[in-house]
Structure 1
Amino acid sequence: MLDKHQAVQSHQKKSSRQKLAKVLLATLPMLTVLGATAGLSSCGFQLRGYDTPMLFDIAKTAVIIEDNRTAFPLKLPLTRRLEALGLDVIDNMTLADIANNSNNVGADPIAAITVNNIRFKRYELVGVLTEIRLVLSADVSYQTIENGKPVTLSNPIQVERSYQYNEASVSTDDQQGNQIRDWLYDTLARRITDQYVAISLPKVAPASANKSSQTLKSPEKTTVIVPSS
């Protein structure tokens, strides 16, 4: 009986350890993401191949988005992505406010991301199942400073995704369509952030390019030994 009782206890302890290991493995990716986000917020970010972390020339960025139901859901994911890069995001300024700030001597410069004309387009291909293609478009302008002068770049961005919808189903709500809309807003925010990073990065050559240049300028001496006959 004693041996059987000990075996049961050993099995329970092993089961508990396995459950604990599963919990730790499940939480590990989230801890990694949180740690990476904290690192980005505190010390900028570093691209692979570059010697030093990348810091934006302008720390403050105003996000200017139209005040309507279609545009509003973009503000939160875009703000979160910019803040994750260590930027101080301002959401209560206009382009006129930024221009006045630029004229004030000694004021900290403020960059701007302006998003206008946010719209959805829905395309349907009716069959046994309705094929739906949902497109989210926006006109985006980036205002920053280069060599001490204001620079404005504009670029339209479009993201899309297709899915199938069974109109003959019991549920008449297009729940998948609502999820796709959320995904499109997040994807648009990522595209805007990626473009802003590309525009605002300091013009620094990657480490690999510097090493290649040094190698070409200062080639190593090669000694050739000829065997005696």
Structure 2
Amino acid sequence: MDQNTERFIYADDFCVTSQESMFESVKANLTSALYELLLYYERNHLHGNPAKTQVCSFQLRNRDTNRPLNVKWSGTPLENCTNPVYLGVTQDRTLSLKEHIKNTKLKVRSPNNILWKLTNFKWGATAHTLRCTALALCYSSGEYACPVWERSTHAKKLDPALNNTCRLIPGGLKPTNLNNLHLLTGIAPADVRLEVASRVEFSQKLPVTNATSSMNVNPQPNV
């Protein structure tokens, strides 16, 4: 692969990136990388699909907002996508993740409706059942990939949807204080949960130190 590019792969999702100060340089780097990828496919009897391949530019120059990257793969022009989705995270030009948070908020509203219907049943809708349902459906959707967007300036826009989830569990009204709701349900506020999830993810990426270096692994018995 070209030294001017970086590649990321997870399962069948493959991403090639290039960072330059000029659009022409990025176009040349991506074209070269895709050509090498095509040769690899041919040697291994694989087939690329340019129709499902998208290209996007990330930059802060407003005058180039709608400027496309004219990249071709195997003679086929690639689609310029404003908000590409990679591993379930919606990207945008400035990497503010505003669109992803907006879409996540809509995803939380749907399970919230299911949770609201459960509260109307006289049987089976105990507080424990509602809490488990909220964590499994609503909070899991709302916190997906949160280490990526937790520090975005738009992250607070998701709080109202998760607050509604928390309000449905004990059957609280809108004027009910949010701090009391979190105490009743035993669920931490949204910003706290997001920060904890980010720290856990970060700790898993830290290098593992040799914890046994200062320990006597095979102590000898006293004679």
- Larger proportion of strand: 1
TM-score normalised per structure 1: 0.24
Rg larger in structure: 1
Structure possessing the higher relative contact order (Cα contacts under 8 Å, 6 or more residues apart)? 1
